[in-house]
Each structure stands twice: as structure tokens, then as C-alpha cells.
Amino acid sequence: MALDFTHAATKWLGLQPHELAPSERKALERAVGRRTIAEDPDRRLDDQLTFGERIADRVARLGGSWTFIALFCLCLLAWVAVNLYFARAAFDPYPFIFLNLLLSMLAALQAPVIMMSQNRQASIDRQMAVHDYEVNLKAEIEIMALHEKMDAALLRQQQEQIDLLARLLSQTGIAGRDNA
């Protein structure tokens, strides 16, 4: 395998094996070994999630939905309506200072959690891009190998046809008459 790998690296990628990037090495090893490289990265990444990352994803999913916006608007309207209805006995009278405090705290907590989820998604996107590159590189290597096989087969077939024509010509004596 080492000889085939070295030959493949120099022939198809124009690099020595020690010059290959990890993703190039992986794609070439899989191509030379005739193994698949395609896998479901989402499954692998989901298995690696920590408890905090799962919560961050759920909060980001909920916080960025129309359901959250509708429920949040209903809660705000209910808060304001109850406090305006009970005007003098309201637990948070106009200008709703306690509501402002709660909204500020919610924003202070929600923003970092959403940013954690976005950072994790960016990391996933980078890993997916590397995986896509590996799959594409392996496909290119396989296509080059297939072209090489087809070229060799065509050359072999053409040589057989030339040899057959030469034999036919020598048997019929046409070749001898042309030379005379």
C-alpha cells in the first residue's frame, strides 16, 4: 500500500506523501484502499454534543422562531393589560420598570446562549466543508484513475487492431506488393 500511496500522491496530486494535508491524505488513502469516504457528519457531531450545547441549540431554535415571537408578544400584552387594569394596585405600574428589568435580563442571558449556538454551527459548517472537500477530492482521484484505466484499455485495443490489420495485410500479400 505504501508504494501505491506514494505513486498515487505524486501522480494524481503532484505531491510527496509528507507534503499532503490531512484531508488530502485521508481522501487519497480511501481512494487507494477502495474505501468510501462519505459519511453522515451530522450523526457524528450530534453524538459529541455536550449538555450545554444541546440547551444552547434548543434556546436558539426557540428564540429564533415565530412561535417565540408570538408567545413573547402575548406575554408582554398580558403583563401590560393586567398592570393597566389594576392601575393603583398593580405590581408593576406604568412605566413598567420591573418589566424592563426582566426584558434586560432575558436579553442578557439569551444573547450569549444564541452566540454559543451560532459558534457551534460555524464549527459544524467548517467540518462539513472539510468533509465535502475530502469527498470531492476522492471523486476527482477516482475519475483520474478511471481515465487512466480507460486510456490503457483503449490503447491496448488499438494495438490489437493494428496487429490484426498487420497480420491480415501480410496474409493477403498486399504489404509485399506495395514494397516491390
Integer angstrom CA distances of residue 110 from 28, 78, 106: 44, 21, 6
Report the percent of the chain where pLDDT is more than 90: 33
- Per DSSP, 36 falls in state -
Q: pLDDT, tens digit, for every residue of 36-64?
A: 877 776 677 777 888 988 888 888 888 88
Look at residue 161 and tell me whether its pLDDT is greater than 50.
yes
Mean pLDDT estimate for the chain: 86
Q: How much is the average pLDDT of 68-96?
A: 92
Asked whether residue 177 carries a pLDDT value surpassing 80, the answer given is no
pTM above 0.75, yes or no: no
**pLDDT of the residue at 1:** 43
- Cα separation, 48 vs 45, in Å, equals 5
